[in-house]
Homo-oligomer: A and B are copies of this chain.
Amino acid sequence: MIGIDWGTTAFRAYRLAPGGTILDRRESEGGILSVPAGGFPAALSAAIGPWLAEGERLVLLCGMVGSRQGWVEAPYLPCPAGPAEIAGALTPLPFDGARCLLVPGLTTRDAGGVPDVMRGEETKLIGLLAEFGTAEAVACLPGTHAKWARLSGGRIAHFATQMTGEVRAVLLEHSILGRLAKDAPTDEAAFLRGVARAREPGGLLHHLFGTRGLGLMGELTAEATGSYLSGLLIGHEVTAALAEGVPDGPIHLAGSATLTRAYALAFGAFGLEHRLHDPDLALRGLMLIAETLQ
């Protein structure tokens, strides 16, 4: 089979043997934003044509390729959902030469009834589920829109998105806080100072302005401001995500090296245990969904 994680800015395709061994891979920056209208079949053919020519007949796709800006909009599937529910809700894609199926995104509602959505992360979480079966667990996938999921009974029971990464980016690029900040490598002491600040009273909107106060008074350097702001936002995220209760086991963490390092530091400051997972979870998730199919 062929598994594809087609996101907003990246394309990753894997040719997989039945046991899950990666036979070949293609990775590019050809995310969905780089595909012209109507151009998805041609882009896919160009990327995986040789594998199809060699006889591959099943292509499973996940990620933003199933969004309104993608190839076809796949409806969101409600939680709880596991590999079987997802396999039962795949959207066939019009593509010659292979059976081409799109993984649905997931939706849930929080205690206030407000809807939440994910697209792409559901496949990573299915990959994670393989590691602890039906046990209760909490997973954290950091990113532009960080996802916190509760896994239970071999399914994704519930999740909540925290807009941490995007809020950090827009504040640094467009707010008064950015004017005080200089690009610099991560300063872990400043990051942890931000995490500690998040646990004080005052609220996020006050803490944000405090970043400026510290800068104006010479108590936070321009080079440390970005790290402090990350710590502040991630500290608020962790507090909010675990307000309902701290998990019995470790928090299952997967993502880029930079982000997982930052979250691991924050978890340590909160006295929380975590377990770091391979970032290539989407691949394993696609395999598991495909196995349910066959």
Contact = CB atoms under 8 A, between A and B. Distances in A.
Oligomeric state, in number of copies?
A: 2
Interface in A97-152: 107, 110-112, 114-117, 145
Nearest to A147: B209
Interface string A47-69: 00000000000000000000000
B160 A202 contact: yes
Interface stretch (A13-21, A167-175, A285-293): A167-175
Given A170-B170, A175-B166, A176-B166, A110 B209 contact: no
Given A167-B175, A175-B166, A205 B240 contact: yes
Nearest to A161: B209
A174 B114 CA distance: 23
A237 interface: yes
Most buried by B among A163, A171, A210, A243: A163
B240 A163 contact: no
A37 to B, nearest CB: 18
B163 A202 contact: no
A4 interface: no
B170 A209 contact: no
A115 B215 CA distance: 9
Interface string A203-221: 1111111101110110100
A233 interface: yes
Contacts of A216: 115, 117
A161 B200 CA distance: 15
Nearest to A244: B201
- The main secondary structure of chain A at its interface with chain B is helix
Contact of A240 (B160, B166, B170, B203): B203
Interface in A239-275: 239-241, 243-244
A227 interface: no
Contacts of A200: 110-112
B162 A205 contact: yes
Contacts of A212: 117
A231 B212 CA distance: 24
Given A115-B217, A214-B115, A240 B110 contact: no
B175 A205 contact: no
Contact of A112 (B107, B116, B197, B237): B197
A117 B167 CA distance: 23
Contacts of A162: 203, 205-206, 209
A167 B171 CA distance: 8
